[in-house]
Structure 1
Amino acid sequence: MGHYITVSTCNLNQWALDFEGNRDRIIESIKEAKDHGSSLRVGPELEITGYGCLDHFLENDLYDHSWEIYSEILANTDTHGILVDIGMPIIHKSVKYNCRVISYNGKILLIRPKLVLANDGNYREMRYFTPWSRPKYYEEYRLPIAIQKVTGQSTVYIGDCVIETAETRIGAETCEELFTPQAPHIAMALDGVEIFTNSSGSHHELRKLDTRLELIMEATKKCGGVYLYSNQKGCDGDRLYYDGCASIIVNGQMIAQGSQFSLKDVEVITATIDLDDIKSFRNQKSTGIQAVAERNPFKSIEAGIELSPQSNVFNPLIRPSLPISVKYHLPEEEIALGPACWLWDYLRRSKCAGFFLPLSGGVDSCATATIVHSMCRLIVSSCEDGDKQVISDIQMLTKSPDWIPRTPQEVAGKLFYTSYMGTKNSSAETRSRAKELADKIGSFHVDLNMDSLVTAVVSVFEVATGRKPIFKIFGGSQTENLALQNIQARLRMVLSYLFAQLLPWTRDIAGGLLVLGSANVDECLRGYLTKYDCSSADLNPIGGISKTDLKRFIGWACTNFELPILREFIEATPTAELEPITADYVQSDEIDMGMSYAELYRFGRLRKVDKCGPLAMFVKLYHEWSQPPYNLTAEQVAEKVKRFWFFYAINRHKMTTMTPAYHAEQYSPDDNRFDLRPFLINPRFPLANKNIDRLVEAITIREDEIRKVNLSVD
């Protein structure tokens, strides 16, 4: 006959410590869920506070504010008549927990603490919270006096319990718990739970969504059930972008999926499911037999509500949602959309007048400019869709109360400033490319030469010391050569901040600009940048993206954004243009670094993702690079590995001052947030290098023996 239930989950763009704004977005999502006829609404992890509060979670004030805001949500009658699952931090017996709070009609039914905390990579939950590492254990929690006045309750249960309604059982799972070997949903399924909620604070990394969604879909593929996944979406005030994708899955099949990237602050995803489908699915499995063996059932909290009214059973207008295909973006699309949404959140929340970018004519700054162009495209699209929040934000930023942009170029003309800061070492080609790109995307562009500034600074040194440095190609030393390059790069940083403060003023616009950096993750890893040069900025949208991926993104944008000028950036040889160009010499990034960008990508992943030191890296790369198409000798592989680790070590100190960058890669060398390694280490790695040399010798001897045998056979 069918027992139909309509349920909702959501993506919310919450902001750390924006308690009242977070409250309003939560209430809006509940109202939308009710408008869709839902009986259950699930929200993201720690949605009251925002997930990324970091060390603010150590402040007791935060917990008081959380209860204050939650009481306002409970008291708001717009949130009644629907089962509501909300995330917030709670102190119980002087211990801090990351919790779900489940309520109905202004009454709290259960506080469910997180059992397993995320504590690797970007996550530091064990720094702030304690895991409720006691499955199926519960006790009483005494509510704060202010909440008691709202709910009329003095105590509620806190612990690993489930909710029981007239027709089904509901269990909560929080983010990291899904990824553990003993995920709670398995035990809950064996105890008859049919609806699982998972509230998350999952961030974006390139090519990682499929891993997450596969695990989410797998959760009910084996044991059946409805899985409601909710996530934050947007910049929560840090380097991460939370990438949404709120989903509803039934028996392992996707039936509703939210967006991964968008400018929407509130996105509610709804589906209607038939509880009988779950029972039928489970009857085909062995779960029923296994459930009989369960001797320790969950504590059930009786909700006293009916999620599937009897009228739904016979209502022909209510139909269950059908399976859909899972939506994945290409990596090039992820680069176009993720950092663009991140930049928009940062800009509108900082309330600055726009962005300033030193546009060099190379791939990296070109990619950054193209990402800003993508942001402008998203703004126009949202305005066309009538998104009131985006319209309000763009009018606030541009101080144009009645203005609605029609093209990305109109947005860039008001919010995006670029400058080509050339010297006598710059080429006409890079200057021309930068100007044409600025024209195509609509930025306010300034073309200048800074030779007089460079000359003046070098002259100060000459007057003070009586010595004048010259470039290496004119007979100077390596020390002189580096100093003359670095002063150009550092002066560009000084000019960038001067222009960022004053360019709006020249147009009678109040406010300053956020300076954008454009050092890619591979150059950061190698240290191929000048400390405090123009890569030192306020934000870096490409700091977690490899050169290889950036070039693919530009190639994609060339067609999809209709910007044919981008093709010239891809085809040009990467160069810093800090040394003089002669008939016989043009500076090349890869020659300067002593390694290719493709090699850097491999070094980076082995170092961070595979946790390899120099010796382990050599062993892995020898097996790879001694084979076609590389055909490198053991000596050649060893030399490359030693060179990488040497330059990585001597430049590690640069990471302590790197511009906050959009996190997109697992091998990011970001010292401040993701890659916690010392910045003063012996760059020779003497013991590791001795062991590498021994292996090289053994390999060489073995190869010689094989060669002699082969010659004798011939």
Structure 2
Amino acid sequence: MFNYIKVAVAIPKLKVADCIYNKQEIMSVIKNAAEKKVKILTFPELSVTAYTCGDLFFQNPLLASAEKTLAEIAAETKELDMLILIGVPVLSDNQTFNCAALLHKGKILGLVPKTLLPNYSEFYEERWFASSDDLIQEEITFAGQVVPIGGDLIFAAENFPNLKVGVEICEDLWGPIPPSSYLSLYGATVLLNPSASNELAAKPGYRHQLIAQQSSRCLCAYAYASAGIGESTQDTVFSGHSLIYENGVLLGESESFSQENQLIYADVDLELLASERRKHTTYMSHLSRAHAQKFYREIKFSMVEDELDEFKRPITAKPFTPADDASLSKRCHDIFMIQTTGLARRMEHTHAKTLVIGISGGLDSTLALLVCVKACDFLNIPRDHVLGITMPGFGTTDRTYQNAVQLMKSLGISTREISIRAASLQHFEDIGHDPSVHDVTYENTQARERTQILMDISNQTGGIVVGTGDLSELALGWATYNGDHMSMYAVNAGIPKTLVRVLVNWVASTGELDQKASDILLDILDTPVSPELLPPDENGNINQKTEDLVGPYELHDFFLYQIIRFGFSPAKVLFLAEQAFGNAYSRETLLKWLKNFYHRFFMQQFKRSCLPDGPKVGALCLSPRSDWRMPTDASSRIWMEEVEKL
């Protein structure tokens, strides 16, 4: 199960004040949920009676029928290993409470009354109900069972890691400090909200904002079940708009105004939530505040994990890039401006006269060059402050050389061409290396010669060397130590290779560049990724393709995100990769490159321990000064042994 749990929201067809009919529809949805192997199911507010009963809540027959109906539902679900929330009115302490009843295997685990009662506009709840704050008793007899009651209940699965369930009801979420804020601080990872929120023109968007924000603040999963169209009466119309969020990410949404019963469900990642809570040290610091001192009763129940037959959860193969075009464009703009502003600030602070950058005609140096140009525009200084240097070597092809030269010319920067062939051959002679032996010495000599040229010219021109290496290369250690590994400001250090590609394509499509420059960018995007340190093939084409050697960058970026962002195990990363990439890669191929990722990631930490400065652009960063502090000599044994078993 990898600590996933299937959470569902039900929107049954209801009739106002008809408990018998409502029970039939509720049971129909429960049976459907059982077939889907749902483990947690929440119905809307007061779903046994319907929410819009008004003064009928003063009628003893309705209250008695509701209690009887809940007892029957409990009895009929005693074989189900499912936590079921059903809304029901409850009499206690000479008052009526708007409650959520939590059922499991026929037992009523607890009753959670609503705390904040709306009494404005179309709402008059204080007329019929009392707040959970008005409770006197902590335990009552209801539906033939002795049941805990209160807003201080958290439902904890004894043998299901990280599963603790908290409940708040409708208006509770709209308050300045919702009960779910406290519930999550005291351990609740899944928050359920049975609601009866009538529909207004702008309300769906506000619901999205509210639930997305609360699930983010509470680092929780949030299942919101809203009453369907059967509640519509007099001046109010209900749509059944229901949502499932996890840490700000939408996992499921109902169809509004449906005339049929609905069930939406998703697999919630409890391990992800637990990982995020451990990482965010300010999360639990709120408990030390005097105003947050509350006490909760933990109600234990036993739940068995099911196999993941149907995995209901969006898993993207490109975790660093948004799927929709509008979000993608905004994200690219923001990232590009972070890079630009960071470089411009460094240029100002060091009083640099030039930005010195090596241009190879490849993706990384192209993005870095675009950032340099934009930084000059940002500072209102001529673009000739950028000094682009192309340094042909033994592996340089005509395609990349021409792209490098033409792009620099099109962007209007200063340029120089310095071949590294003679200097490299002299170095081979100095150290006694046979130039026909194309080993690591042959390759790294060229990378270090290029870096030395850039460093010396930056001294010569009063400038700084702008690094071009990206986040994916840092993760894999795919950089020559004290070669392209080093610079004075590394503008791409926080950007994975898959995102570098997206950013270059975005710049090409914005219309800011002329057509020739855009065409060059598109050709660069179509060029295989290569360090070009080995001679071309007999046709003059690139003979050294990075992804043939270290693996596809789309896989490595996916591995990087799951492993570093959330700390997932190799088995879970493999499972997620199989879900995300489908039939694009075999299991054997995924395992091959996953093993390679772990091996390289651990072996190459020494390169990340002494990185130059570079702007952090996303939640994942490998700089030792901000996000990633790993011992250089840490053993990979635990991870590699698990990969071998897989």
TM-score normalised by structure 1 residue count: 0.43
Point out the structure with max Rg over C-alpha: 2
TM-score normalised by structure 2 residue count: 0.48
